[in-house]
Amino acid sequence: MKKFFLVILFAVAFSVYAKTSFNSLDLNNDNELLFTVRNDLQNTVSYESLFYSEIEDGGAKTTPELLSCYPESIEMIKNGKVLQIRNRFGRAEYSDETTFFNWKERTDGITSKFLNIENISISPDGNWECKIIQDSLFSGALIILNINSGKIIELSSNINIQNGSLPVKWSEDSSILLYEKNENIYFCNPDALARNVEVDEKYRKIGRGTINSVDWASQKYLAYIDDYILYKINIKELYSLGLYSEIIGKGNIIGRLPVRFNAKTDRFSADSNVLSIVMIQNEHLFSYLKTKSVNFEYLDMVYSKPYADSSASLLNSFVFWDSSNNPYIWQTKLPYNDKNQKSSIYKISTTLTPILEIEDSSLPSFCPDKSKLAFVSKSTVFIYNINSWQKVSSLEGENIVSLAWKDNNSMFVGGDKTIKKWDLTKATYEVIMLSSVSNSYWDKSSNKIIAENGVDSFYNYDKLKHTWQKIIVENNFQKQIQNGYYRVFNGTTQNVLFENALYIRTLFGDAVTKPLYKESVAKAPAPKKVAIVFDAYDNADGLPVILSVLKKYNLKATFFINGEFIKRYPSETYQIVVNGHECASMFFSTATITDDSFIIDGDFIRRGLARNEDEFFQCTGSELSLYWHAPYYKTDSSIIEEGRNAGYEYISGNSYINTVELNSGIEPQEIITKYFNNLDKMKSTVFPITIGYAGENKINPLYDYLNLIIKTLLDKNCDIETITGLKSK
């Protein structure tokens, strides 16, 4: 078994403080200014971008031009001829045919707040885009966009956005899109929709279920599961089935499953002929099944076992197939004793055969014909042939942020310094764009723009194509901040979102000093402080998801840990600690300590808190912070006072969330809505979330909405803190 030690995709430096700063000023004699902007925005990657501005009348003549482009997300569009690059500043395109780069959408000012990069699904031919346009806290409209014409068509309304996923799947040739609507699966031809010649939606229904109920087995066949029955649908017959499904059925019945398929919690993947499937039940049980020669018979169970790695919890998994229809499974895990994720690839047969063990890897990216996959280390992209598991090539040199295959033998690699086009056949690459810039200069002899983004790495800017070429520099460049007309400098600002402001001082006529960006000096309110806290009672369900989402946003949170949780889940308790989160006390027992059966006195509270401290130390080798709350937040003034005498500060929920509701099965939407409706009334606040299942609500736990909660808080310009951080500010 091969081992690789990799670093997760997007594992680049995150900011602790939400600040934007101006740096690297250089003003030439033609009143042209170069400067860089560093966005140290909370919970997003930090990088430095290069801007150009022509100065006139003491200010910018037009909106300053952005000369670099950080590849927060990249995709191939327009029949694979154009690379789309998206980041917090907007959307840009690079034409592989003309080699020109242009911004298509751009913010006018300087981004000083959290901006979420939209989750989109691009068709394989790059001509269509699906996304959800949010219109309420919990839902939005699913739309399809023609990238070439800009035409937008709504497919479905009231789509749940809690986990950020898109309920769509494209056919390999982009001719058919599957989508979920009102617990049913539909199909459409995007081109027919755009030309208003598609048949009515009621005749394009495949059947009941969610997007998990269907899988593109190949360009020829679609697999569909309805309860216990597996169907194979010939794509050429989709419209016939849609029109006459009540008469001719939903497709060819391949066989019966031994268990009921739950479309909300289960997933599956089929081989190219729909003769075998791998089913993942509740993200925990993995089963490999093969069909028999006779329809309606139960599928043969080749392999079926739950995830049982005692060294790590499972974060996510997915199935893929080689050209011989052998299934493989990729599992991303979070070790109990390490904060860095790892991944494993197994071949599935009667057992799981390890293929690769990858430390700190992201999900892989497959080439168009699915014969190769790419995965990323901190400074290396590896390419493997999935039929032989031989390494095809590798590229190293900088932290990798994003990948996009152009075709089966070339790809674009978005790094934290440059964007490269990589030719696997020739084993060569070319830099097409700078992702970030550490310094910039005017070449006095040629008036060309020179940028530096690393040790001895200099690039020349092509003003016509808006791209960059690496050059060798023999002379040192001298910056200037003043010419005969203007002086530029960085000064102070009252805006708490900016570290400084860039000012232009006019040196002729009426002496005037103006900020280049007015918003950089406008007074802004300090961000609201919010502590998301997690209550660990006696169930660890959801903990891997929670830790993964917190890591995604580079957040540290406070976990209130009960003694029962420590006894039942010592590995998970230690996992919370090694991931760097603050741990506080929730007493030694899950019992309601305000109950009449307890004699509450100072000795009882002190002993209960001390017992929890000792058990936590024995488990983790660490100490609990001196914050606590009673189980279920049920307390009274005497309990709080006795805790204070023991050295602990009591932490309540907040007055707008009935903390009892957190453990009584109240729907999460109701709790979240109440919280955000009252957020503006609170100066600083705590948002409590229960780990595991609350009361009887085992289908829709609050932690499943964590991504939505964090995104909404950041959208509202809140700083998310630990309890210690909340108390210290």
Q: Do residues 500 and 488 make contact, with C-beta atoms less than 8 angstroms apart?
A: no
Segment among 152-166, 200-214, 696-710 with least mean pLDDT:
696-710
Measured between alpha carbons, how far is 271 from 388 in angstroms, rounded to an integer? 18
Order across the sheet with 467-471: list the strands: 439-443, 448-452, 458-462, 467-471
pLDDT for 185: 96
Q: Which of 267-271, 282-286, 473-477 has the highest mean pLDDT?
A: 267-271
Residue 124, CA atoms < 13 Å, CB-side half-sphere: 18
Confidence of residue 115 (pLDDT cuts 50, 70, 90): low
- On average, the pLDDT of the chain sits at 90
Confidence of residue 297 (pLDDT cuts 50, 70, 90): confident
Instruction: Give just the sign of the alpha carbon dihedral 512, 518, 520, 522.
Output: positive
For residue 352, how far is the Cα from the chain centroid? 29
133 Cβ contact list (under 8 Å, min separation 6): 140, 141, 143
Measured between alpha carbons, how far is 8 from 375 in angstroms, rounded to an integer? 9
For 362, list phi and psi in degrees, rounded to 5: -85, 180
pLDDT at 498 over 50: yes
Residue 313, CA atoms < 13 Å, CB-side half-sphere: 22
pLDDT at 718 over 80: yes
Confidence of residue 455 (pLDDT cuts 50, 70, 90): low
pLDDT for 458: 93
pLDDT at 531 over 80: yes
Residue 267: CB atoms within 10 Å: 22
Strands 558-561 and 528-536: parallel
pLDDT at 64 over 80: yes
Q: Which of 310-324, 666-680, 689-703 has the highest mean pLDDT?
A: 310-324
Q: Do residues 694 and 663 make contact, with C-beta atoms less than 8 angstroms apart?
A: yes
pLDDT at 543 over 60: yes
pLDDT for 16: 38
pLDDT for 646: 94
Section 665-669 average pLDDT? 80
Q: For residue 630, give both structure tokens.
A: 């009673």
Measured between alpha carbons, how far is 13 from 391 in angstroms, rounded to an integer? 29
For residue 255, how far is the Cα from the chain centroid? 37
Helix, strand counts (H, E) of the chain: 10, 52
Residue 635, CA atoms < 13 Å, CB-side half-sphere: 21
pLDDT for 365: 94
What is the three-class DSSP state of 663?
helix
pLDDT for 5: 30
Contacts 24+ apart (CB under 8 A), 570-573: 570/619, 571/310, 571/336, 572/313, 572/336, 572/540, 572/543, 573/536, 573/616, 573/619, 573/620
Confidence of residue 665 (pLDDT cuts 50, 70, 90): low
Q: Do residues 424 and 384 make contact, with C-beta atoms less than 8 angstroms apart?
A: no
Q: Do residues 445 and 420 make contact, with C-beta atoms less than 8 angstroms apart?
A: no
Confidence of residue 3 (pLDDT cuts 50, 70, 90): very low
Short-list 53, 88, 54, CA closest to 69:
88
Residue 173: CB atoms within 10 Å: 11
Distances (CA, A) of 361 to 77, 375, 382: 26, 7, 11
601 Cβ contact list (under 8 Å, min separation 6): 642
pLDDT at 9 over 50: no
Q: Do residues 609 and 627 make contact, with C-beta atoms less than 8 angstroms apart?
A: no
pLDDT for 246: 65
Taking only the tens place, the pLDDT of each residue in 31-62 is 999 999 998 866 678 899 999 999 999 999 99
pLDDT for 68: 97
Section 434-440 average pLDDT? 95
Short-list 14, 26, 8, 4, CA closest to 437:
26
Order across the sheet with 418-423: list the strands: 400-407, 410-415, 418-423, 428-434
Strand partners, 313: 334
Short-list 450, 451, 448, 413, CA closest to 432:
413
CA angle 321, 325, 328 (to 5 degrees): 35
Taking only the tens place, the pLDDT of each residue in 204-263 is 999 999 999 999 999 999 999 999 999 999 999 999 888 876 655 678 999 999 999 999
pLDDT for 290: 95
Q: Which residue has the higher pLDDT, 663 or 275?
A: 275
Distances (CA, A) of 284 to 307, 341, 352, 523, 704: 5, 18, 15, 51, 16
pLDDT for 183: 93
Confidence of residue 390 (pLDDT cuts 50, 70, 90): very high
Measured between alpha carbons, how far is 388 from 692 in angstroms, rounded to an integer? 42
What is the three-class DSSP state of 236?
helix
What is the three-class DSSP state of 65?
strand
Strands (E), 114-151: 121-122, 128-134, 139-146
pLDDT for 598: 66
Confidence of residue 663 (pLDDT cuts 50, 70, 90): low
Taking only the tens place, the pLDDT of each residue in 85-103 is 999 999 999 999 999 999 9
Q: For residue 162, give both structure tokens.
A: 């809690």
Section 598-602 average pLDDT? 76
Strands 32-40 and 372-376: unpaired
Short-list 403, 554, 555, 468, CA closest to 72:
403
pLDDT for 190: 97
Confidence of residue 727 (pLDDT cuts 50, 70, 90): confident
For residue 59, how far is the Cα from the chain centroid? 38
pLDDT at 521 over 70: yes
pLDDT for 696: 47
Confidence of residue 11 (pLDDT cuts 50, 70, 90): very low
Residue 683: CB atoms within 10 Å: 6
Confidence of residue 475 (pLDDT cuts 50, 70, 90): confident
Short-list 673, 594, 664, CA closest to 631:
594
Percent of the chain predicted with pLDDT > 90? 72
Q: For residue 539, give both structure tokens.
A: 């169930």
- pTM for this entry: 0.92
Strands 684-690 and 528-536: parallel
Taking each helix axis as running N to C, give the angle between helix 706-715 and helix 543-552, from 0 to 180 degrees, rounded to the nearest 10.
Answer: 30
Segment among 6-10, 75-79, 332-336 with least mean pLDDT:
6-10
Segment among 162-166, 230-234, 359-363 with least mean pLDDT:
359-363
Q: For residue 522, give both structure tokens.
A: 């406008």
661 Cβ contact list (under 8 Å, min separation 6): 670, 671
Short-list 214, 208, 297, 303, CA closest to 256:
297
Measured between alpha carbons, how far is 268 from 259 in angstroms, rounded to an integer? 13
Contacts 24+ apart (CB under 8 A), 377-383: 377/4, 377/5, 377/6, 377/7, 378/6, 378/7, 378/11, 379/7, 380/6, 381/413, 381/422, 382/4, 382/6, 383/424
pLDDT for 668: 87
